[in-house]
Amino acid sequence: MNQRSRGITALAASTALVMLSQAVHADETKEVGIHSVSAGGAQELIGTVTIKEHQYGVLLIPDIENLEPGLHGFHLHKNPDCSSAKKEGKQTAAASAGGHFDPEGTGKHQGPYNTEGHLGDLPALFVNQQGEANQPELAPRLKFDDFDDRALVIHQQGDNYADDPKPLGGGGSRVACGIVRIE
């Protein structure tokens, strides 16, 4: 092999390594354990949500069992804590997770597609008749790093992406939670 060929080969190998390292960085993933929760605290592991960086936001891939069929409110909460706490004088499931992730301080629940509301508003989670959630959802306004040191919370009921007629989309009680820590 002549000097020119070695140079071209070295350049090609170097370019391939740079492209590979960019692809690895652009394709970050994190698997988060999801536990059922009650006023007594976090309970059994009921599945996982894989968080995956995507060119159009963050892809959330649930693999969860033992939930009631139907739509459930699904949100990114500001604190990485799924323990119960007193809220309005009553012990409440996953209350330590705090409110929805809202770094801009909008104070509004507008859903995952409206730029005037909380960033923590995720697409509603669909649970099939067998109690399984496995339909991927895209959170278009979030970045992978936004999930670090937060909690994923699943609510008992659906989400209308508004504060009316009930606050925070009417999702009701918190029924499942997982702590997100990206190393």
- Cα 16 to Cα 166: distance, rounded to the nearest angstrom: 53
In angstroms and rounded to an integer, the radius of gyration of the C-alpha atoms of the chain is 20
Q: Predicted confidence band at 100 (pLDDT cuts at 50, 70, 90)? A: very high
CB atoms < 10 A from the CB of 4, how many? 8
- pLDDT at residue 92, as a whole number: 93
Three-state DSSP at 65 gives coil
Nearest to residue 119, comparing CAs of 70, 155, 85, 76?
A: 76
Q: Tens digits of per-residue pLDDT, 21-55?
A: 344 345 799 999 999 999 987 789 999 999 999 99
- Cα 41 to Cα 93: distance, rounded to the nearest angstrom: 6
Name the DSSP letter for residue 123. Answer: P
Q: Tens digits of per-residue pLDDT, 2-30?
A: 444 333 333 333 333 334 334 434 579 99
Which residues, listed in sequence order, are joined to residue 157 by a DSSP beta bridge? none
What does each C-alpha distance from 152 to 20, 92, 129 come to in angstroms? 30, 16, 22
- Cα 94 to Cα 137: distance, rounded to the nearest angstrom: 23
Residue partners of 102: CB distance under 8 A and separation at least 6? 78, 118, 119, 120
